[in-house]
């Protein structure tokens, strides 16, 4: 893989041991290029202006600016950058606040190094990787009382099924295999449900239907 084809990854983690461990896990993979490792959001923000990475592995509990606020500001200026949260915080507020800020993946720090590497690749290719318990919590939101009941009623049964698979973090091909559809059909359903909900991404759709 040529250098310019590699996924550019930045790590924002205040724990030096964990930060170095993440870099050591990511660097050997030929598909990835670690472009920076930062102990706080301020140092990352100062560096990101030069050339934004493809994916940021972001802790939430950072000194100074929180990972959630850093994610929000990052997505405001560089919406194309994908944020993979990697944290010890597994409470609902942290999870949904991170998703509302624009994170598209959420791993707990008990994830193995190989899982982090795979999650970076998944998020770069359009998926939304989540630790199993986190994914179950997001899916549970579909059964919780919600203010947006009228909006979800706009969706067809198939569109709801596709949205549930998007919430699990599956990519289009995986959704197609799960629901026995073609990828083009999945794309059509996604486009239609986004139009009905007046959103532009899976994160926006979930945030709109299941606000916290």
pLDDT tens column, 46-84 = 998 878 999 999 999 999 999 999 998 999 889 999 999
Please name each of the domains of the chain with its CATH number.
3-138 (3.40.50.2300), 146-209 (1.10.10.10)
Q: What is the mean pLDDT of the chain?
A: 86
Question: 64: which 2 tokens?
Answer: 């100074």
pLDDT at 4 over 60: no
* pLDDT, greater one: 190 or 203: 190
44 beta partners: none
CA distances in angstroms from 104 to 16, 43, 54, 99, 210, listed in the order given? 24, 22, 12, 6, 15
The stretch 115-121 carries a mean pLDDT of 95
Half-sphere exposure of 77 (CA within 13 A, CB side): 12
pLDDT score of 22: 95
Helices (H), the chain: 16-26, 41-48, 67-77, 92-101, 113-124, 132-140, 149-152, 157-167, 172-179, 183-197, 202-209
pLDDT band with cut points at 50, 70 and 90 for residue 163: confident
**What's the confidence (pLDDT) of residue 52?**
92
> d(Cα 193, Cα 201) in Å, to the nearest integer?
10
């Amino acid at each position: 893989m040529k250098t310019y084809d590699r996924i550019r990854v930045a790590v924002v983690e205040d724990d030096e041991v964990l930060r170095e461990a993440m870099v050591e896990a990511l660097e050997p993979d030929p598909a990835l290029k670690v472009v920076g490792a930062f102990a706080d959001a301020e140092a990352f923000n100062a560096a990101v202006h030069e050339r934004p990475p493809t994916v940021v592995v972001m802790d939430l509990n950072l000194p100074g600016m929180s990972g959630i606020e850093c994610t929000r500001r990052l997505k405001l200026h560089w919406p194309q950058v994908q944020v993979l949260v990697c944290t010890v915080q597994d409470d609902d507020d942290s999870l949904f606040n991170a998703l509302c800020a624009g994170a598209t993946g959420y791993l707990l720090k008990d994830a193995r190094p190989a899982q982090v590497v795979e999650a970076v690749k998944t998020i770069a290719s359009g998926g939304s990787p989540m630790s199993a318990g986190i994914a179950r919590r997001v899916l549970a939101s579909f059964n919780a009382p919600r203010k947006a009941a009228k909006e979800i009623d706009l969706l067809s049964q198939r569109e709801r099924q596709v949205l549930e698979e998007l919430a699990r973090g599956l990519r289009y091909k995986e959704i197609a295999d799960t629901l026995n559809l073609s990828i083009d059909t999945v794309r059509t359903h996604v486009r239609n449900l986004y139009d009905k909900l007046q959103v532009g991404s899976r994160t926006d759709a979930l945030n709109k239907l299941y606000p916290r």
